[in-house]
Amino acid sequence: MSSRPALRQWEPWSKLQRPAGGRALAGVAECLARKFEVSLWAVRTGFVFLAFCGGVGIAVYMAAWLVLPPEGESKAIWANAVADKRTIALTAGVATLLAAVTGILFGLGEPMVIGSVSPGWVSAAALVGVWRHPGTDDRLALVRVARLLDASKEGLPTRRRLVLSGVRVLVGLGLLGAGALTFLSPRHLTHADMTVGLAAIGVMGGMSLVLAPWWLRLGRDLSEERRQRLRAEERAEMASHLHDSVLQTLALIQRSAAEPLQVQKLARAQERQLRSWLFEQQADGAPALAAPTTVSQALVAIQQEVEADHGSKVEVVTVGDAPLDDRLRAVVAAAREAVVNSAKWSGADAVSLFAEVEPDLVSIFVRDRGCGFDLDAVAPDRKGVSQSIKARTRRHGGTATVRTSPGEGTEVSLKMPRRR
Amino acid sequence: MSALKVFLVDDHQLFRAGVRHEISTAGGFDVVGEAGDVASAVAGICASDPDVVLVDVHMPDGGGPEVVRQVLARKPSVRFLALSVSDSAEDVISTIRAGARGYVTKTISTAELASAMAAIAAGDAVFSPRLAGFVLDAFASSPEPVHVHSDPELEQLTSREREVLRLIARGYAYKEIARELYISVKTVETHVSAVLRKLQLSNRYQLTRWAMERRLVPPGD
């Protein structure tokens, strides 16, 4: 295609490689199109045309698939195939069967058959080699073809599956009909015809008997292959996640080893993130930060935020849960203020955040074992407790009480009746 | 007072070494053995007769709950404290129901771990705030009689037990709870042990189902 940069150099044949991307099946046409600097579709059309000339196109394609190495690999499939005894044995077996079929048909007076013998042999032999020793991209192509043939595969949407099955049945019926017509129509059924028919059935039966185990194994190999690839993908995803998060954090920790507070903060944030990734299966690691929609999510968001910003541990316990409405948002915001106050001023290294959601009441408690303070001595211009916590909760119909005294720690209790 | 005999079960050798070091600095503990898998843990615990076993929840071949179950079948007097990185409800509940007397997460401080082990060795139950929250949650939904033979006493928490659990979840220590409720620390411990017993013996199916749901469905979905 025009978008493909044409190669400047006339490359030697030995340097030809089947490309990894942009291929329909094996990338043979693509490769030849590059080599001769012609349109990819011209090459493809050529192959299809030749395929109708007694199967020559198929044979050439298969042979090229066998001989041309895939991109990124030095060895062609051919080289691997001749090194494997079982492949050779299998090829020999297939060739013998084909020879038997040809022999029978020829013996029964079908001279036409000779013309398609050699392309058939080449294709079959090449197919055996390709199927047994595919490169990575070839394997993907084969799996794609196998999927097309096997319409029952679970991954596909129902409609596509139905369409595929329909196409398969139609094509099969068409072939059957065509075969029956050519066999029966122009002449009367003779004794020889019966023999041919029986012989064909016999050969096909024999072939399926011989080849059935092999086909079954191929199917298994392919699905095993797919399983392994899924596993590999999972591993890759895990590795990239660990790299993005854990390894980065470890690097940061090494660099700030002299500041224990910083190290603690990093380790805690990382633990939180990894934990939510592992146990809650949420890919981005910090889901609750995005947009909490329930009380428990909102409290986890507070925890993450405060642990990251202030380095205090926040222990969150939630009993029950409810979606956030404006009342609950208000009480959660008040709780956040209380947690931040504790983290900032109490001097305690941990803050407890407990919420209980009951059918008609939500209670939130924020507690620390820090220095505490004298409520009456708070300067009137310090709006934190009075405005953000008490007034905000009251505006929405709830209550807020603060229990503290110097040296005794602080507990803020928030109660918010729920809208029914 | 002689040192408490501690046995460590964790499949991470590094973590065992860390805990061993930690509790040796805390003082008053003597690590009598450690194991990294279920079979050797069961054999080792039965041989060394420890006062308290620190057991990890996630291990191959059934993990901590399996160790607890197998040892208790042979030696009912052994006391277990579950220690795990996981604080998912299912892990907590299954370990406690297997017979562990407490559950703390691995991020616990050395001092807290030491006092938790001492409490377990003395026969008390150790509830972390999170475990208290789980129990409240599990027993919160209206109790339905499940089995004809089930003991209705086991299927519900008393209001006092509920109060104690709430205070634990709010971050109160037993001593603080006692002061708050005007009861003795011993009474607090009695309540917690009663809750532990209910947790282990209750056959309300909600408990397991609740824990499963809690694990499978992220909060709020």
Structure tokens at B93: 């509940």
| Pick from A282-286, A414-418, B80-84, B114-118: least confident | A282-286
- Interface touch B171/A369, C-beta < 8 Å: yes
Contacts of A119 (CB under 8 A, 6+ apart): A54, A55, A56, A58, A59
Rounded Cα distance between B98 and B70, Å, is: 9
Rounded Cα distance between B164 and B42, Å, is: 34
- Interface touch B219/A318, C-beta < 8 Å: yes
Give B219's pLDDT tier (boundaries 50, 70, 90). very low
Residue among B119, B117, B88, B92 at smallest CA distance from B103: B92
Overall pTM > 0.90: no
Q: What percent of chain A has pLDDT over 90?
A: 5
Quick one: closest CA in A to B137, which residue?
A: A319
Which residue shows structure tokens 């022999």?
A: A103
Of B136, B171, B220, the CB nearest to A293: B220
Alpha carbon A222 to chain centroid distance?
Answer: 17
How much is the pLDDT for A355? 93
Dihedral angle sign, alpha carbons of residues A3, A9, A13, A14: negative
Chain B residues whose CB is inside 8 A of the A287 CB are: 218
Of A279, A282, A319, the CB nearest to B136: A319
Which residue shows structure tokens 């953000």?
A: A388
- The average pLDDT across B105-116 equals 82
Chain B interface, best mutation among A280, A299, A354, A362, by max B CB count within 10 A? A354
Answer whether B171 touches A (CB < 8 Å): yes
Cα–Cα distance list, B51 to A104, B45, B128 (Å): 85, 10, 20
Cα–Cα distance list, B42 to B9, B12, B55, B125 (Å): 9, 17, 11, 22
Of A282, A320, A354, the CB nearest to B218: A282
Contacts of range A198-205, beta carbons closer than 8 Å, 24 or more positions apart = A199/A104, A199/A105, A199/A108, A200/A104, A200/A105, A203/A97, A203/A100, A203/A101, A203/A104
What's the pLDDT tens digit per position in B59-80? 777 778 888 988 998 888 899 9
The listed range with the strongest mean pLDDT (A148-162, A211-225, B82-96, B186-200) is B186-200
Rounded Cα distance between A140 and A397, Å, is: 63
Answer whether B133 touches A (CB < 8 Å): yes
What's the pLDDT tens digit per position in A331-370? 998 999 899 888 888 888 889 999 999 888 999 999 998 8
Answer whether B142 touches A (CB < 8 Å): no
B69 or A380, greater pLDDT: B69
| Pick from A237-251, A372-386, A403-417: least confident | A372-386
Q: Nearest C-alpha of chain B: how many angstroms from A354?
A: 5
Size of interface A-B (CB pairs under 8 A): 59
Pairing label, strands A313-319, A410-417: unpaired
The listed range with the strongest mean pLDDT (A11-25, A32-46, A68-82) is A32-46
- Interface touch A367/B130, C-beta < 8 Å: no
How much is the pLDDT for B166? 92
Q: Strand, helix or coil at B52?
A: strand
What's the pLDDT tens digit per position in A133-181? 777 777 777 776 666 655 555 555 667 777 777 777 787 777 777 766 6
Q: Nearest C-alpha of chain A: how many angstroms from B147?
A: 25
How much is the pLDDT for A185? 56
Q: Could you report the predicted ipTM of this complex, rounded to two decimals? A: 0.79
How much is the pLDDT for A258? 79
- A10 CB neighbour count, 10 Å cutoff: 8
Chain B residues whose CB is inside 8 A of the A266 CB are: none
